[in-house]
Structure 1
């Protein structure tokens, strides 16, 4: 199991609640877990809700929704319909800059299971389902941990879903558990209401891995002891600090700790911009970021979001526009491709940012900047899931924070700095559609067959020689390759 469990280092600032014991053991099996954390109390439904209310428990997967409100809605549906609920752990973390949930699932799996077990027993659940990314460490660790448990109040199973950004969206995970394509539903439905939004149409209580672990800690030590740690909001937060040229660090810190304190402890300089909340988060000016308290309210006050707890910085020696364009292209390719913003808006923004990064000033650069801003702005609020909104937050905040760098690209020959890929992306087999200019005759058929992928310039030729192909674009790409009269297209895969 050791190879599958190679994960970032873990550090703590202040008391170790979620990371207790991990300084001495790589992974806590059931015996070690019980030795470190002690026995788990029993909570009825009122006790469960009281703990969640008193510690102000919010989801730690990105949206920050109050846990107790979700639980009450699930109970209300179960009481009204007589259908026993299902409890779901969302461990399908698809954020490249976030490793905290993968760390918990692999190194402290029983803490996550404990939180879900408390809810399953209190709600009278008929099943407990843990969703993990296929090929990730949770695929090995969670089944091994479940096999050690004899105290679960209902059947439990692990479901593996593709390791994609949208797989971690709650509706996509529930669809995957139900045996359907792991994509966000086109019609929004609350999991707590059951029906089309729930597992097997049952009322469903879903929370991410860290949320369940926080609940287990609070139930063990009591709400008062839990709330004695943290400022502004009770307890601790799990953070993933991304370091350019070095491995990620997972850090547990009291809620409200200054962001600057965390960066300093990890040996990270704030650079020219600090990203908080991951790739659906927001960029902050370093001067504001260093003083920002790491809590939902503290980050919101400066225009940020805690999100999935991912932190990254952009060093001064790289091209900010090029680095942002690189992530925007990946986010566009990771979409489900089911609605207008994902099919049109996000790819248009990514293309415009790439053009801006390569521009040598003048009207072309200004047009690219305006196109990027317009594309993400008009994508907000119109998607079937939160992916367009999160991507827009990432891009628009970058355009504000890196205005000086953008000015160099619009006013002259660019910033002259390289794109080094300092922001993490997964190592996967990536497909690109490539144009052989020695063959291309400008027929334009490719743009008809793959309009979401290929755009033509004023003279009828594709505007780019290399285009990343998203999963939902592969059918169109293959059609374009097979039917190109000049045989000028090919799909290349890079591992």
Structure 2
């Protein structure tokens, strides 16, 4: 690790630090520093560890919040039934552009994450520990270095996955570990059950990096001390990623139930025009609601929000909300894997409608059609991507309803799109039309129906959404077979 440059996310905390303990004195906790900061780790047996997890009500700290104890019991039931030892998986493949909490843990305090995974591996007789990290992320260097420093209860390995939004979905992660394409499984299957849903057909206990770190904290503190902060229903702390305009994200540890207003103030922010909580599968809150919003799953759900992965973005008053929304929705549409109807049709249709709305060129019927498409997408996908995207868009249309009305009745709000909502550099190609050549044959709409729509006069409407990976074959066919040679697939920088 010496001399190796790492991108280390900034960290802060309100009240006492638990997961962030020691990071005021160390950039990264190697094993020696970790041992000085954290007391020795106990070694509970199978029943004791399950009892501890149930006593603290530990939820998964990814997007879904599924209780750790229920997931562990399901895995152990499958292991007992089949006689196959379980596999422990750490999900550190954080593909959410607005979130950096798992990157922070794996980069700066990897041994705390490994502590939790090793506790479960020893108590449950695991065959292997697998850590999934995003290729090019700090975890790609930090995690193998941490593994080399410590004794392990079973073999462990790191798997690098492409840095995509879908890579963090549990089914996609398991497929990637198994050497398959990193896309959600076409049929939903629990990793705990093994078979097609597990690592190498083994019952698999898969949790994200923060969940494993929280388990290690709970084991050291015990249920009563762990519950000394937080709410009665959701004890302990939670990690948030607060995105600040013009600055790197700040990962903040706060007691569960803390009000959002003080967190924003501590980070030098105001609620602005609206606050996104939960990242790009989360929900928007109106400023009047956001200040007193409790940062807990139950508290945000009661307000129509979602804690999700804990990513927070404030939208300032000097950017166009609908332009920001259109940028992210187009990116989310291209990040889908195109395996089911909601992603193949609903998300691109919504992205097209929002692009028109942001440009002040949408009719009310277009917007209502997008609302219907997103409503129909919820609950019908192979994974949660269409559900999360629909929540992100529909709550934004409600919070920014005045801007929606301004864009429907005239040229728009008059504000520029400043690109406040974080996105990775553009990679997707765009399908362009050379209007000097196009003769309106309409063949392109037949060859690439999900990309090209014909206007009222039979000419293609130039798509506003980048071409997804799963759409590239159709796009190339349309380009190659256009009788007038009027189509071109242009990549960023091309």
Which TM-score applies when normalising by structure 1?
0.97
Q: CA deviation at 1:103?
A: 0.6
Partner residue in 1 for 2:42: 41
User: SS state of the match for residue 5, structure 1?
Assistant: coil
Partner residue in 1 for 2:411: 413
Matched, 1:476 2:470: no
Among 432, 439, 462, the alignment partner of 2:460 is 462
Q: CA deviation at 1:365?
A: 2.5
Deviations 1:146-177 (CA, angstroms, capped at 9, x unpaired): 11122x11110011111111111001100111
Q: How does 1:356-435 map to 2 (within 5 A)?
A: 356-359=357-360, 364-435=362-433
Q: CA deviation at 1:413?
A: 2.4
Q: CA deviation at 1:467?
A: 4.0
Partner residue in 1 for 2:199: 199
Q: How many Å separate the matches in 1 of 2:344 and 2:427?
A: 21
Deviations 1:232-272 (CA, angstroms, capped at 9, x unpaired): 42111100001122221110111111000100000111011
Does the 8 Å contact 1:344/1:452 carry over to 2? yes
Q: Which moved more, 1:30-39 or 1:98-107?
A: 30-39
Partner residue in 2 for 1:159: 159
Q: How does 1:246-285 map to 2 (within 5 A)?
A: 246-285=247-286
Distance change in 2, residues 1:254/1:466 (3 Å):
closer
Q: How many Å separate the matches in 2 of 1:271 and 1:29?
A: 39
Q: How does 1:100-249 map to 2 (within 5 A)?
A: 100-150=101-151, 152-232=152-232, 233-249=234-250
Q: Which moved more, 1:438-447 or 1:207-216?
A: 438-447
Q: How does 1:304-383 map to 2 (within 5 A)?
A: 304-359=305-360, 364-383=362-381
Partner residue in 2 for 1:290: 291
Q: How many Å separate the matches in 1 of 2:426 and 2:350?
A: 23
Partner residue in 1 for 2:8: 7
Deviations 1:326-369 (CA, angstroms, capped at 9, x unpaired): 11111100001000000000000000011111125xxx421221
Q: How many Å separate the matches in 2 of 1:118 and 1:141?
A: 20
Q: Which moved more, 1:177-186 or 1:31-40?
A: 31-40
Does the 8 Å contact 1:241/1:311 carry over to 2? yes
Q: How many Å separate the matches in 2 of 1:198 and 1:223?
A: 30
User: SS state of the match for residue 314, structure 2?
Assistant: strand
Distance change in 2, residues 1:428/1:129 (3 Å):
farther
Distance change in 2, residues 1:199/1:443 (3 Å):
same
Q: How many Å separate the matches in 2 of 1:461 and 1:309?
A: 45
Partner residue in 2 for 1:99: 100
Does the 8 Å contact 2:330/2:348 carry over to 1? yes
Q: Which moved more, 1:457-466 or 1:212-221?
A: 457-466
Which TM-score applies when normalising by structure 2?
0.97
Q: CA deviation at 1:303?
A: 0.9
Q: Which moved more, 1:316-325 or 1:87-96?
A: 316-325
Q: CA deviation at 1:18?
A: 0.3
Q: How many Å separate the matches in 2 of 1:428 and 1:87?
A: 34
User: SS state of the match for residue 466, structure 2?
Assistant: strand
Deviations 1:285-332 (CA, angstroms, capped at 9, x unpaired): 111111011111111111111100000111112111111111111110
Q: CA deviation at 1:463?
A: 1.2
User: SS state of the match for residue 71, structure 1?
Assistant: helix
Q: CA deviation at 1:491?
A: 2.0
In structure 2, runs of 5+ residues without a counterpart are none
